[in-house]
Amino acid sequence: MRFVISPILAPVHTSSRDDAVLHALVDFVTGEGLRPGDRLPTERELAEHLKVSRTTVREALTRWQELGLVERRQGSGTYLKSAVTRNMLHLPLTLPSGNDFNSLMHTLEIRRGLEAEAAVLSAERASDADIAFIEQQLIRMEEAFHARHGMSADEDWDFHLAVFRTSGNPLFEQIIAAMYEMFHRFWEHPLGVRDFGHASFPYHRTLFNAIAARDPVAARAEALKLIATVEDDLRRGAANLKKQSKKS
Protein backbone atom coordinates (compact mmCIF):
# COMPACT_ATOMS: atom_id res chain seq x y z
CA MET A 1 0.00 0.00 0.00
CA ARG A 2 1.34 3.35 -0.99
CA PHE A 3 0.20 6.38 0.93
CA VAL A 4 -0.12 9.90 -0.26
CA ILE A 5 1.79 11.88 2.33
CA SER A 6 -0.10 14.92 3.44
CA PRO A 7 1.80 18.01 2.26
CA ILE A 8 1.33 19.59 5.67
CA LEU A 9 3.74 17.10 7.11
CA ALA A 10 6.90 18.42 5.51
CA PRO A 11 8.18 21.70 6.80
CA VAL A 12 9.74 21.27 10.22
CA HIS A 13 12.46 23.84 10.10
CA THR A 14 15.13 24.03 12.75
CA SER A 15 15.83 27.59 13.63
CA SER A 16 19.54 27.91 13.13
CA ARG A 17 21.87 30.01 15.20
CA ASP A 18 22.52 32.80 12.73
CA ASP A 19 18.79 33.17 12.11
CA ALA A 20 18.37 33.83 15.79
CA VAL A 21 21.19 36.36 15.61
CA LEU A 22 19.49 38.21 12.77
CA HIS A 23 16.18 38.26 14.59
CA ALA A 24 17.84 39.67 17.67
CA LEU A 25 19.57 42.21 15.49
CA VAL A 26 16.28 43.28 13.93
CA ASP A 27 14.88 43.86 17.39
CA PHE A 28 17.95 45.80 18.38
CA VAL A 29 17.88 48.03 15.31
CA THR A 30 14.17 48.76 15.57
CA GLY A 31 14.32 49.15 19.34
CA GLU A 32 17.26 51.50 19.16
CA GLY A 33 15.73 53.37 16.27
CA LEU A 34 18.81 53.01 14.07
CA ARG A 35 18.64 54.52 10.62
CA PRO A 36 20.65 53.92 7.44
CA GLY A 37 24.19 55.13 7.94
CA ASP A 38 24.24 54.38 11.64
CA ARG A 39 26.86 52.10 13.07
CA LEU A 40 26.06 48.70 14.50
CA PRO A 41 27.76 47.18 17.54
CA THR A 42 31.05 45.49 16.80
CA GLU A 43 31.10 41.81 16.02
CA ARG A 44 32.84 41.08 19.31
CA GLU A 45 30.21 42.97 21.28
CA LEU A 46 27.38 41.19 19.51
CA ALA A 47 29.01 37.83 20.08
CA GLU A 48 29.41 38.50 23.76
CA HIS A 49 25.93 39.84 24.39
CA LEU A 50 24.18 37.19 22.31
CA LYS A 51 26.27 34.42 23.85
CA VAL A 52 27.36 33.07 20.47
CA SER A 53 30.74 32.91 18.83
CA ARG A 54 31.98 35.69 16.62
CA THR A 55 31.99 33.21 13.73
CA THR A 56 28.22 32.86 13.99
CA VAL A 57 27.77 36.62 14.21
CA ARG A 58 29.93 36.98 11.12
CA GLU A 59 27.87 34.44 9.15
CA ALA A 60 24.73 36.33 10.03
CA LEU A 61 26.23 39.69 9.08
CA THR A 62 27.54 38.19 5.85
CA ARG A 63 23.99 37.29 4.92
CA TRP A 64 22.79 40.82 5.63
CA GLN A 65 25.70 42.19 3.69
CA GLU A 66 24.80 40.08 0.67
CA LEU A 67 21.27 41.43 0.85
CA GLY A 68 22.64 44.94 0.84
CA LEU A 69 21.30 45.66 4.30
CA VAL A 70 24.64 46.45 5.91
CA GLU A 71 28.07 47.50 4.78
CA ARG A 72 31.23 46.43 6.56
CA ARG A 73 34.35 48.58 6.66
CA GLN A 74 37.44 46.97 7.98
CA GLY A 75 38.94 48.94 10.81
CA SER A 76 35.83 51.08 11.07
CA GLY A 77 32.74 49.03 11.76
CA THR A 78 29.52 47.69 10.33
CA TYR A 79 27.01 50.23 9.13
CA LEU A 80 23.33 50.03 8.36
CA LYS A 81 22.76 50.57 4.66
CA SER A 82 19.01 50.18 4.38
CA ALA A 83 15.96 50.38 6.58
CA VAL A 84 15.31 47.26 8.60
CA THR A 85 11.85 46.18 9.67
CA ARG A 86 10.56 43.03 11.24
CA ASN A 87 8.57 41.75 8.29
CA MET A 88 10.66 42.57 5.29
CA LEU A 89 10.91 40.37 2.27
CA HIS A 90 14.11 39.27 0.58
CA LEU A 91 14.02 38.55 -3.13
CA PRO A 92 17.44 37.38 -4.21
CA LEU A 93 17.17 37.31 -7.99
CA THR A 94 19.95 35.72 -9.96
CA LEU A 95 19.51 36.48 -13.60
CA PRO A 96 21.57 34.95 -16.38
CA SER A 97 22.42 38.22 -18.03
CA GLY A 98 24.79 38.24 -20.94
CA ASN A 99 25.54 41.03 -23.36
CA ASP A 100 24.02 39.22 -26.30
CA PHE A 101 21.05 40.52 -28.22
CA ASN A 102 18.51 38.26 -26.58
CA SER A 103 19.51 39.09 -23.02
CA LEU A 104 19.41 42.80 -23.71
CA MET A 105 16.03 42.51 -25.37
CA HIS A 106 14.70 40.55 -22.41
CA THR A 107 15.76 43.23 -19.97
CA LEU A 108 14.04 45.81 -22.15
CA GLU A 109 10.82 43.84 -22.04
CA ILE A 110 10.91 43.87 -18.26
CA ARG A 111 11.62 47.54 -18.28
CA ARG A 112 8.78 48.15 -20.70
CA GLY A 113 6.31 46.56 -18.33
CA LEU A 114 7.51 48.46 -15.28
CA GLU A 115 8.09 51.75 -17.04
CA ALA A 116 4.68 51.87 -18.64
CA GLU A 117 2.98 51.13 -15.35
CA ALA A 118 5.07 53.65 -13.46
CA ALA A 119 4.21 56.30 -16.06
CA VAL A 120 0.52 55.60 -15.55
CA LEU A 121 0.78 55.84 -11.78
CA SER A 122 2.91 58.94 -11.94
CA ALA A 123 0.37 60.64 -14.19
CA GLU A 124 -2.37 59.70 -11.75
CA ARG A 125 -0.67 60.67 -8.52
CA ALA A 126 2.23 63.05 -9.02
CA SER A 127 1.98 66.23 -7.02
CA ASP A 128 2.95 69.59 -8.43
CA ALA A 129 6.30 69.30 -6.68
CA ASP A 130 6.77 65.86 -8.25
CA ILE A 131 6.04 67.26 -11.69
CA ALA A 132 8.56 70.02 -11.12
CA PHE A 133 11.09 67.44 -9.99
CA ILE A 134 10.64 65.34 -13.12
CA GLU A 135 10.90 68.45 -15.30
CA GLN A 136 14.12 69.39 -13.58
CA GLN A 137 15.63 66.02 -14.44
CA LEU A 138 14.29 66.34 -17.98
CA ILE A 139 15.95 69.70 -18.44
CA ARG A 140 19.23 68.40 -17.10
CA MET A 141 19.04 65.52 -19.55
CA GLU A 142 18.23 67.78 -22.47
CA GLU A 143 21.10 70.09 -21.60
CA ALA A 144 23.50 67.17 -21.41
CA PHE A 145 22.15 65.93 -24.72
CA HIS A 146 22.82 69.20 -26.51
CA ALA A 147 26.21 69.62 -24.88
CA ARG A 148 27.40 66.18 -25.88
CA HIS A 149 25.32 65.80 -29.06
CA GLY A 150 24.07 62.47 -27.77
CA MET A 151 22.35 60.69 -24.94
CA SER A 152 23.98 60.83 -21.56
CA ALA A 153 23.52 57.64 -19.59
CA ASP A 154 23.49 59.19 -16.13
CA GLU A 155 21.13 62.04 -16.84
CA ASP A 156 18.83 59.74 -18.79
CA TRP A 157 18.78 57.36 -15.85
CA ASP A 158 18.01 60.16 -13.41
CA PHE A 159 15.01 61.16 -15.49
CA HIS A 160 13.56 57.67 -15.57
CA LEU A 161 14.30 57.26 -11.88
CA ALA A 162 12.35 60.43 -11.21
CA VAL A 163 9.32 58.94 -12.96
CA PHE A 164 9.56 55.80 -10.88
CA ARG A 165 10.05 57.79 -7.72
CA THR A 166 6.94 59.87 -8.30
CA SER A 167 4.79 56.83 -9.00
CA GLY A 168 3.82 56.75 -5.33
CA ASN A 169 4.95 53.14 -5.14
CA PRO A 170 8.39 52.69 -3.59
CA LEU A 171 8.67 49.15 -4.95
CA PHE A 172 9.20 50.50 -8.46
CA GLU A 173 12.24 52.48 -7.47
CA GLN A 174 13.72 49.63 -5.49
CA ILE A 175 13.24 47.06 -8.20
CA ILE A 176 14.47 49.33 -10.93
CA ALA A 177 17.42 50.48 -8.83
CA ALA A 178 18.43 46.87 -8.31
CA MET A 179 18.31 46.44 -12.08
CA TYR A 180 20.41 49.52 -12.67
CA GLU A 181 23.48 47.56 -13.62
CA MET A 182 21.50 45.33 -15.92
CA PHE A 183 19.92 48.18 -17.84
CA HIS A 184 23.16 50.07 -18.06
CA ARG A 185 24.80 47.40 -20.14
CA PHE A 186 23.11 49.05 -23.09
CA TRP A 187 25.46 51.95 -22.83
CA GLU A 188 28.45 49.87 -21.97
CA HIS A 189 27.99 47.61 -24.97
CA PRO A 190 25.73 49.34 -27.46
CA LEU A 191 26.56 46.66 -30.01
CA GLY A 192 28.34 49.14 -32.21
CA VAL A 193 25.33 51.36 -32.76
CA ARG A 194 26.39 54.94 -33.13
CA ASP A 195 24.20 57.44 -31.34
CA PHE A 196 22.55 54.71 -29.31
CA GLY A 197 19.36 55.93 -27.72
CA HIS A 198 19.38 59.05 -29.86
CA ALA A 199 15.92 58.32 -31.23
CA SER A 200 14.46 58.08 -27.74
CA PHE A 201 15.35 61.68 -26.91
CA PRO A 202 12.15 63.49 -27.99
CA TYR A 203 9.91 60.99 -26.23
CA HIS A 204 11.30 61.98 -22.86
CA ARG A 205 9.61 65.33 -23.18
CA THR A 206 6.39 63.92 -24.58
CA LEU A 207 6.30 61.48 -21.68
CA PHE A 208 6.80 64.33 -19.26
CA ASN A 209 4.07 66.35 -20.93
CA ALA A 210 1.63 63.46 -20.60
CA ILE A 211 2.45 63.07 -16.89
CA ALA A 212 2.24 66.83 -16.32
CA ALA A 213 -1.15 66.83 -18.04
CA ARG A 214 -2.26 64.04 -15.67
CA ASP A 215 -3.11 61.86 -18.63
CA PRO A 216 -2.39 58.23 -17.66
CA VAL A 217 -3.35 56.77 -21.02
CA ALA A 218 -1.07 59.11 -22.92
CA ALA A 219 1.69 58.54 -20.38
CA ARG A 220 1.58 54.80 -20.97
CA ALA A 221 1.58 55.31 -24.72
CA GLU A 222 4.57 57.67 -24.62
CA ALA A 223 6.51 55.36 -22.32
CA LEU A 224 5.89 52.46 -24.67
CA LYS A 225 6.99 54.54 -27.66
CA LEU A 226 10.17 55.54 -25.84
CA ILE A 227 11.08 51.96 -25.09
CA ALA A 228 10.19 50.97 -28.64
CA THR A 229 12.81 53.33 -30.05
CA VAL A 230 15.45 51.75 -27.82
CA GLU A 231 14.37 48.34 -29.01
CA ASP A 232 14.76 49.52 -32.58
CA ASP A 233 18.28 50.72 -31.81
CA LEU A 234 18.99 47.33 -30.32
CA ARG A 235 17.72 45.52 -33.40
CA ARG A 236 19.86 47.77 -35.59
CA GLY A 237 22.82 46.79 -33.45
CA ALA A 238 22.07 43.14 -33.87
CA ALA A 239 21.79 43.62 -37.62
CA ASN A 240 25.14 45.42 -37.64
CA LEU A 241 26.81 42.57 -35.83
CA LYS A 242 25.33 40.10 -38.28
CA LYS A 243 26.60 42.11 -41.24
CA GLN A 244 30.06 42.42 -39.74
CA SER A 245 30.31 38.71 -39.06
CA LYS A 246 29.29 38.07 -42.65
CA LYS A 247 32.04 40.32 -43.94
CA SER A 248 34.76 38.64 -41.90
CB of 62 to a second copy, least distance (A): 5
42 binds, among a second copy, DNA, none (CB under 5 to 8 A by kind): DNA
What span, in angstroms and rounded, lies between the C-alpha atoms of 173 and 192?
A: 30
66 binds, among DNA, a second copy, none (CB under 5 to 8 A by kind): a second copy
- Does 129 participate in binding a second copy (rule CB under 8 A)? no
What span, in angstroms and rounded, lies between the C-alpha atoms of 44 and 106?
A: 45
Chain residues that interact with DNA, rule: CB under 7 A: 14, 16-18, 40, 42-44, 47, 51-56, 58-59, 61, 72-78
Burial of residue 44 (CB within 10 Å: 0-12, 13-18, 19+) is exposed
CB of 80 to DNA, least distance (A): 12
Q: CA-CA distances (angstroms) from residue 83 to 18, 74, 165?
A: 20, 22, 17
Question: Which residues ranging from 207 to 246 are in contact with a second copy (CB under 8 A)?
Answer: none
Burial of residue 150 (CB within 10 Å: 0-12, 13-18, 19+) is middle
56 binds, among DNA, a second copy, none (CB under 5 to 8 A by kind): DNA
Q: b/e map of 91-129 (b: 16 or more CB within 10 Å)?
A: eeeeeeeeeebeebebbbeebbebbbbbbbbbbeebeee
What span, in angstroms and rounded, lies between the C-alpha atoms of 12 and 4?
A: 18
CB of 86 to DNA, least distance (A): 21
- Does 114 participate in binding a second copy (rule CB under 8 A)? yes
Nearer to a second copy, 178 or 239 (CB): 178
The contact set with a second copy (CB under 8 A) reads 3-4, 6-8, 10-11, 55, 58-59, 62-63, 65-69, 71, 82-83, 85, 87-99, 106-107, 109-110, 112-114, 116-118, 121, 137, 154, 157-158, 161-162, 167, 169-175, 177-182
